[in-house]
Amino acid sequence: MVTLGCPKNVVDAEEIAGALQARGHRLDARAHNGDIVVVHTCGFVRDAQEESVNAVLQAVEDKRAGRCRRVVVTGCLAQRFADALRDAIPEVDGFVGTGSTDRAAEVIASVEHAEAPLLQVERRPRHVWQATPTRALSTPPWTAYLKIGEGCGHRCSFCAIPAIRGPHVSKPFEAVLAEARHLAGQGVKELNVVSQDSTQYGYDLGRRSQLAPLLRELARLPGIRWVRALYCYPSRLTLDVIEAIVGTPGVCAYVDLPLQHADEGVLRAMRRPGSGQAYLRLIRRIRRANPDACIRTTFITGFPGETEEAFASLQRFVETAEFDRVGVFAYSTEEGTPAARLPGRPSAKEAERRREALLQMQRDISLDRNRRWVGRELEMLVESVRPLAVSQGRRQGRLLRGRTFRDAPEIDGAVEAAAAWGEPGDFVTVRVERAGPYDLFGRASAPVGRSRAARPSPSISPAADDVTPDGSGFVTIGFM
Owning domain of residue 22: 2-120
Q: Does residue 196 lie within any of the structural domains?
A: yes
Do residues 182 and 235 both lie within one domain?
yes
Q: Does residue 474 lie within any of the structural domains?
A: no
For the cut 60, the answer to whether the pLDDT of residue 455 exceeds it is no
Q: Does residue 95 lie within any of the structural domains?
A: yes
333-356 residue pLDDT tens = 988 899 999 999 999 999 999 999
Among 371, 399, 433, identify where a domain stops. 371
- For 168, the 3-state DSSP assignment is coil
157-208 residue pLDDT tens = 999 888 889 899 999 999 999 999 999 999 999 999 999 999 999 998 877 7
Do residues 248 and 187 both lie within one domain?
yes
For the cut 50, the answer to whether the pLDDT of residue 464 exceeds it is no
3-state helix, strand, coil in the chain (%, to 5): 35, 20, 45
Please state whether beta strands 440-447 and 427-435 pair in parallel, antiparallel, or not at all (unpaired).
antiparallel
Do residues 101 and 166 both lie within one domain?
no
**Amino acid at site 68:** C
**Comparing C-alpha atoms, which of 323, 299, 297 is closest to residue 311?**
299
Q: Classify burial at 113, counting beta carbons within 10 Å of its beta carbon; exposed 0-12, middle 13-18, buried 19 or more.
A: exposed
282-323 residue pLDDT tens = 999 999 999 999 999 999 999 999 999 999 999 999 999 999
Which CATH number covers residue 422? 2.40.50.140
Do residues 359 and 243 both lie within one domain?
yes
Q: Does residue 127 lie within any of the structural domains?
A: no
244-277 residue pLDDT tens = 999 999 999 999 999 999 999 999 999 999 999 9
Do residues 289 and 343 both lie within one domain?
yes
Do residues 99 and 202 both lie within one domain?
no
Q: Does residue 480 lie within any of the structural domains?
A: no
Do residues 237 and 346 both lie within one domain?
yes
With vertex at residue 318, the alpha carbon angle to CA 326 and CA 282, rounded to the nearest 5 degrees, is 90
pLDDT value at residue 293 = 96
Among 338, 371, 404, identify where a domain stops. 371
Do residues 79 and 179 both lie within one domain?
no
Gap between the Cα atoms of 401 and 384, Å rounded: 5
For the cut 60, the answer to whether the pLDDT of residue 454 exceeds it is no
Q: Does residue 138 lie within any of the structural domains?
A: no
Q: Does residue 431 lie within any of the structural domains?
A: yes
Do residues 243 and 325 both lie within one domain?
yes
Q: Are 94 and 37 in contact (CB under 8 A)?
A: no
Which CATH number covers residue 177? 3.80.30.20
Q: Does residue 465 lie within any of the structural domains?
A: no
DSSP string, 222-252: TT--EEEE----GGG--HHHHHHHHHSTTB-
Average pLDDT, the chain: 88
How many Cβ atoms are within 10 Å of 25's Cβ, its own excluded?
18
Tally of structural domains, the chain: 3
